[in-house]
């Protein structure tokens, strides 16, 4: 984002949540809002308008949609005298909330050269000022829909980075989103196993703290004895799968996966060079780090690799049972690397890459979506998708917890997706 488009560039220090009192919901909200704009700093207006594929969205659209969410679900119902910024924005920046009204075609979001970027930034300011007024007029207690909106915007911050990465990867100039620091160079530690005896366990969120509806109800599960790898699969290990003909052996693949790999001519993870010596990152083209977790692979590729390795993918119940023992920290957005890095001796459950699980994204027993359009947030997608756990190098730290469930279609791989191996244990 250049200075002529806003009057002045957003100050990076304004986007640091650590400087904000965490007990103040409005302060956290404004910190998250500032970070979304800061992620666009240094980009040109053209970078924020283009759409690389139907699964991705322009950064300008993300900035507007996260604003529409607060306007639609918080301000219009609750702030007396609130003035809608522009009536057409209700359709332009609705994503999939059918109950909230008509929606502009998702695959055509890149056609929205108007409203201009400066208008979208004015829209954000208009809504933020109204949110301030709302907080001044209501009791000093957390607002549940504002909290949902904070976490919704954090989801879109991750999408903004994955979407601009995909966009820039298609440009022969191979532009960088930013100059990034070099991650530490390490040799991949030998992979060990975390053995668990199995038995009765529980799955899902309980206690205090924000969580999405899809993380509950908490319910019992029965686990057979199992073991999880103590780190994610690294680039060197996946490169051996590639060299061994893993993309040419149909017996390793699920039927839909093999058909997809052949149709799309997959020969390696997304963004790898043909010689497997480099990969495209948010910092531009860089050498492939053998010790870093493999990234940008589909569920189909993760499952095929696990079969090749004589293992399997973990279920989400197995993953969560192990993750509860870990600290929610790691190579996350705040670390500023913006790409996976080699493990430093930790078990790497959080950060670096989202880890595919062998579990379909389905409702927990007793799940009930919220009433109204906001109930479309998760429940309507519980079909045909697979669960991922753990967060990535572009996930905000405050957005994660051991019960967090992410989900994508099994063919998708433009997100920061990797895998951890699992196996049965007698």
Q: Give the chain's mean pLDDT.
A: 91
Q: Which two tokens stand for residue 77?
A: 């119902």
Q: Which two tokens stand for residue 358?
A: 């062998």
User: Interhelix angle for 144-169 vs 25-38, to 10°?
Assistant: 10
Q: What pLDDT score was predicted for residue 191?
A: 82
Give the residue among 59, 13, 169, 9 at the shortest CA–CA distance from 1. 9
> In terms of pLDDT, which residue wins out, 141 or 100?
100
Across the range 273-297, mean pLDDT stands at 96
Q: Which two tokens stand for residue 43?
A: 């980009």
Q: What pLDDT score was predicted for residue 345?
A: 66
Alpha carbon distance 48, 61 (integer Å): 8
Condensed to tens digits (0 to 9), the pLDDT of residues 114-170 reads 999 999 999 999 999 999 999 998 877 889 999 999 999 999 999 999 999 999 999
- Decide if pLDDT at 341 tops 90: yes
Pick the CATH number of 193-424 from 1.20.140.10, 3.20.20.70, 2.30.30.90, 3.90.1580.10: 3.90.1580.10
Q: What is the DSSP string of 309-336?
A: TT-BPPPHHHHHHHHTTS-S-SB-GGGS
- Decide if pLDDT at 377 tops 50: yes
Condensed to tens digits (0 to 9), the pLDDT of residues 34-61 reads 999 999 999 999 999 999 999 999 999 9
Condensed to tens digits (0 to 9), the pLDDT of residues 190-204 reads 789 999 999 999 999
| Lowest mean per-residue pLDDT among 67-76, 268-277, 367-376, 411-420 | 367-376
Across the range 86-96, mean pLDDT stands at 96
For the chain, the domains span 3-169, 193-424
Q: How far is CA 309 from the centre of its chain?
A: 27
Instruction: Supply the pTM of this predicted model.
Output: 0.92
Condensed to tens digits (0 to 9), the pLDDT of residues 203-227 reads 999 888 899 999 999 999 999 999 9
- For tokens 């996930």, what's the residue? 395
Strands (E), 1-137: none
Q: Which two tokens stand for residue 91?
A: 């359709």
Alpha carbon distance 425, 198 (integer Å): 9
């Amino acid at each position: 984002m250049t200075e002529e488009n806003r009057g002045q560039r957003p100050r990076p220090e304004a986007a640091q949540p650590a400087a904000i009192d965490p007990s103040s919901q409005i302060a956290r909200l404004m910190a998250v809002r500032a970070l979304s704009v800061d992620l666009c700093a240094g980009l040109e207006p053209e970078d924020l308008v283009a759409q690389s594929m139907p699964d991705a969205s322009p950064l300008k659209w993300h900035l507007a949609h996260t604003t529409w969410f607060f306007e639609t679900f918080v301000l219009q119902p609750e702030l007396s005298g609130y003035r809608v910024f522009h009536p057409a924005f209700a359709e332009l920046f609705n994503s999939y909330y059918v109950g909230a009204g008509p929606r502009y075609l998702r695959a055509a979001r890149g056609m929205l050269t108007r409203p201009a970027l400066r208008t979208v930034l004015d829209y954000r300011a208009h809504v933020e000022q109204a949110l301030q007024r709302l907080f001044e007029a209501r009791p000093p207690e957390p607002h549940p829909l504002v909290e949902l909106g904070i976490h919704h915007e954090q989801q879109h911050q991750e999408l903004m980075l994955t979407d601009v990465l995909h966009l820039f990867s298609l440009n022969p100039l191979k532009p960088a989103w930013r100059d990034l620091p070099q991650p530490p160079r390490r040799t991949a530690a030998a992979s060990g196993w975390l053995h668990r005896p199995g038995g009765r366990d529980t799955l899902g969120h309980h206690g205090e703290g924000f969580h999405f509806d899809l993380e509950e109800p908490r319910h019992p599960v029965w686990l057979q004895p199992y073991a999880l790898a103590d780190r994610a699969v690294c680039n060197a290990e996946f490169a051996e799968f590639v060299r061994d003909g893993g993309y040419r052996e149909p017996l390793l693949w699920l039927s839909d996966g093999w058909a997809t790999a052949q149709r799309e001519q997959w020969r390696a993870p997304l963004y790898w060079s043909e010689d497997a010596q480099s990969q495209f990152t948010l910092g531009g083209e860089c050498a492939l780090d053998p010790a870093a977790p493999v990234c940008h692979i589909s569920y189909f590729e993760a499952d095929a690799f696990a079969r090749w390795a004589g293992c399997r993918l973990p279920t989400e119940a197995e993953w969560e049972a192990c993750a509860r023992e870990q600290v929610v920290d790691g190579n996350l957005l705040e670390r500023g690397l913006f790409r996976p890095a080699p493990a430093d001796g930790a078990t790497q459950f959080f950060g670096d890459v989202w880890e595919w699980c062998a579990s379909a994204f389905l409702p927990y027993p007793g799940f009930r979506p919220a009433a109204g359009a906001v109930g479309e947030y998760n429940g309507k997608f519980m079909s045909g998708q697979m669960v991922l756990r753990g967060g990535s190098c572009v996930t905000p730290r405050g957005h994660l917890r051991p019960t967090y469930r992410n989900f994508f279609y099994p063919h998708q791989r433009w997100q920061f997706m990797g895998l951890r191996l699992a196996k049965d244990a007698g």
